[in-house]
Amino acid sequence: MSREVRVRFAPSPTGPLHIGGVRTALYNYLFAKKMGGKFLLRIEDTDQGRFVPGAEDYIKESLEWLGIAPEESPWKPGNVGPYRQSERKEMYKQYALDLIEKGHAYYAFDTAEELEAMRERLTAARVVQPQYNGITRTQMKNSLTLPAEEVKARLESGDPYVIRVKIPLKEEVRLNDLIRGWVMVHSSTLDDKVLMKSDGMPTYHLANIVDDHLMGITHVIRGEEWLPSAPLHVLLYKFFGWESTMPQFAHLPLLLKPDGNGKLSKRDGDKLGFPVFPLNWTDPVTGENSPGFREQGYLPDAFLNFLAFLGWNPGDDREIFSLEELVEAFTIDRIGKSGTKFDIAKARWFNEQYLRSKPSEELGNFLTAFAKAEGVDIPAEKATAIVNLVKDRVTFPAELWKESRFILIAPSEFDSEVAAKKWNTDAVNLLGSYAVALDGFTGTFDAVSAKSLLESTAEAEGIKLGKVMQAVRLAVTGMGGGPDLMEVFAILGSQEVAKRIRFALDQLPIVG
Ligand code: GLU
């Protein structure tokens, strides 16, 4: 009988969720939905020293913003909880003891000084990677080397100890990663990792395996940085006797710096001016602020679409996918093996596509809100006309206001460079006559009638319109460039255009 697909995102609350973590969550979500399974979230907070207040809320808010909230989580428990490892603390010890019983783990009593002395000894003997392993454990203080009575006495007297896994000396460990294919590692390269710490807390490795087993996880989809731990995890499944329900692994390729040289870091984002976090974050200790995609004006659906393509593609040239379409198209075998370069230009491109495809009424609401914050009220109908005119010129919603500010607020200054080049007697004559013509205009003032009136005025004055067009724009908008000017006139209305022209004629001295 095939099991229900259950996948988990298992972040540690050690700071803001990095964009790579959000991608991991997204791929887990997509896979779960595609397979008709469940997407869980488990907080891995066994390392109390690295706990950062606010990090858990940040994770929750990020996933909710993107519409990929887990079905089971600390905030919405299912029936395999608790969903925070710190709250499962008591569960783990019996599993560590079970491994000792089966001969796959042991107590180790070495002090920090003894461990350090071992490392120094090995380093002096030119061992490249000094570690506690199948060879060195024979020279250390543990339940494999000490007499049984001493071990018992130490445990009874409350001597501090850890529990370490006993890695077999000679064993080929294999796993068939869904992305990377067969991975084989010889056990002699693995160390006897700590499973239970002296404070009674499990380490990541023990807690992760026990929880994935108890939570019925069928597929572990996580970042490539965990691939080196996977052989140990496979051994643990075997030691526990859980091989038949061991999850399948899929290790996701790294997110690389834009130039492809190394892993994408927060510093790259700071240096190149883009966020690497989904939401703004203020470090609770240092007070340092980090920008987020949300606050920079990325739309959640655009950001999701961008993220999905950082390491996956549908196999054809389609790029715009809604969340539902991503679920439909998603398969693990289309995730690439090699790292993906982070390209912020692509993120902007997705945002533009999504922004432009939004109904004008919706964009109008964005504009109205931004304008209101600046003290300008826009009637709904006018907002729609304005966004239709400027939406192809913006990447972020806030730019709707920047791009149309000149329509809503008459210029009080004029671009002096454009004025120096284009403001001349012909322009002044034409504009003077056009203002008069506008006063007498009756009928519907739209882009077509605005233009034909301007053309006939120019003709009557014997002026070539092409030569003075930029001066006309300058007079009405204060700037040398912008969206279609006749559409702007239509939105402003004939009286406002005439008024602005007269103000410009009054303000700008004639040069040449
Ligand atoms: N807690 C680990 C992390 O922070 C999870 C690794 C895993 O998914 O197994 O990335």
Q: Is 12 in the pocket of ligand 1 (CB under 6 A)?
A: yes
Residue 83 has pLDDT above 80, yes or no: yes
- Residue 464 is inside which H or E element, if any? none
| Lookup: tokens for 136 | 């060195």
- What band does 380 get if pLDDT is binned at 50, 70 and 90? confident
Instruction: State the pLDDT at residue 51.
Output: 86
Ligand 1 pocket, residue 297 CB under 6 Å: no
* Ligand 1, atom nearest to 222 Cα: 8
Residue 406 CA to its chain's centroid (Å): 34
- Are the C-beta atoms of residues 164 and 192 closer than 8 Å to each other? yes
Is the beta carbon of 208 within 6 A of some atom in ligand 1?
Answer: yes
Does this chain's domain 266-356 share its CATH topology with 361-507?
no
| Average of per-residue pLDDT across 312-323 | 96
pLDDT of 1 reads 56
What is the mean pLDDT of the segment spanning 267-288? 93
Note the pLDDT of residue 47.
Answer: 86
**Once rounded to an integer, what is the mean pLDDT over residues 237-262?**
96
Measured distance CA(404)–CA(479) in Å, rounded = 12
Residue type, 425: T
Active site residues: 266
| Ligand 1 site, residue 222, Cβ cutoff 6 A | yes
What is the Cα–Cα distance from 63 to 44, expressed in whole angstroms? Answer: 17
Which pLDDT value is given to residue 511?
56
Q: Is the CB of 46 under 6 A from ligand 1?
A: no
Mean pLDDT of 310-315: 96
* Ligand 1 atom closest to residue 11's alpha carbon, by position in its atom list: 4
Cα 342 to ligand 1 centroid, rounded to whole Å: 22
CA–centroid distance, residue 199 to ligand 1 (Å): 21
Residue 56 token pair:
């858990």
Q: Which atom of ligand 1 is nearest to the CA of 229?
A: 9
Which ligand 1 atom is at minimum distance from the Cα of 221? 8
pLDDT of residue 128: 86
Average pLDDT over residues 169-174: 95
> What single letter denotes the amino acid at residue 418?
V
- Ligand 1 centroid distance, CA of 220 (Å): 10
CA distance 205 to 202: 8
Q: Which atom of ligand 1 is nearest to the CA of 9?
A: 8
DSSP for 347-406, written as a single string = HHHHHHHHHHTS-HHHHHHHHHHHHHHTT----HHHHHHHHHHHGGG-SSTHHHHHHHHH
Within 10 angstroms of residue 197's Cβ, the number of other Cβ atoms is: 17
Domain boundaries, the chain: 6-73+208-254, 90-196, 266-356, 361-507
Answer yes or no: are the C-beta atoms of 477 and 503 closer than 8 Å.
no
Between 1 and 139, where is the model more confident?
139
Q: 368 in ligand 1 pocket by Cβ < 6 Å?
A: no
Q: Could you write out the DSSP letters of every residue in 479-503?
A: SS--S-HHHHHHHH-HHHHHHHHHH
Q: pLDDT band for 129, please (50, 70, 90 cuts).
A: confident
The verdict on the CB of residue 11 being under 6 Å from ligand 1 is yes
Q: Report the CATH architecture of 90-196.
A: Alpha-Beta Complex (3.90)
CATH class of 6-73+208-254: alpha beta
Average pLDDT along the chain: 95
For a mutational test of ligand 1's pocket, the pick from 6, 9, 12, i.e. the residue with the most ligand atoms closer than 8 A to its C-beta, is: 12
* Alpha-carbon gap, residue 341 to 243, rounded angstroms: 36
pLDDT tens digits, 27-55 = 999 999 999 999 999 999 998 888 899 99
Which class in CATH covers the domain with range 266-356?
Answer: mainly alpha
226 ligand 1 Cβ < 6 A: yes
Q: Residue 209's pLDDT is what? A: 98
Over residues 331-356, the pLDDT tens digits come to: 999 999 999 999 999 999 999 999 99
Q: Whose CA is nearest to atom 6 of ligand 1?
A: 10
Amino acid at 207: A
Mean pLDDT along residues 473-483: 96
Distance 209 CA to ligand 1 centre (A): 11
Whether residue 390 is predicted with pLDDT greater than 70 in this model: the reply is: yes
- Please say whether the dihedral angle defined by the alpha carbons of residues 132, 134, 139 and 143, taken in this order, is positive or negative: positive
CA 370 – CA 364 distance, rounded (Å): 10
What does each C-alpha distance from 210 to 105, 360, 493 come to in angstroms? 15, 52, 71
Q: For residue 244, report the distance from its CA to the centre of ligand 1, in Å.
A: 22
Residue 10 C-alpha to ligand 1 middle, in angstroms? Answer: 5
The 3 state secondary structure assigned to 99-163 is HHHCCCEEEECCCHHHHHHHHHHHHHCCCCCCCCCCCHHHHCCECCCCCHHHHHHHHHCCCCCEE
Give the chain's radius of gyration (CA, Å): 33
Ligand 1 pocket, residue 305 CB under 6 Å: no
The sign of the dihedral angle between the CA atoms of 240, 242, 247, 251 is: positive
CB atoms within 10 A of CB 188: 13
Q: Which class is domain 361-507?
A: mainly alpha
The CA distance from 301 to 291, in Å, is: 19
- How many Å is the maximal CA-CA distance in the chain? 114
Closest C-alpha to ligand 1, atom 3: 11
Give CA angle at 240 (237, 244), nearest 5°: 55
H helix or E strand, kind and range, residue 478: none
DSSP 8-state secondary structure symbol assigned to residue 327? H
How far is the centre of ligand 1, averaged over its atoms, from the C-alpha of 31 (Å)? 17
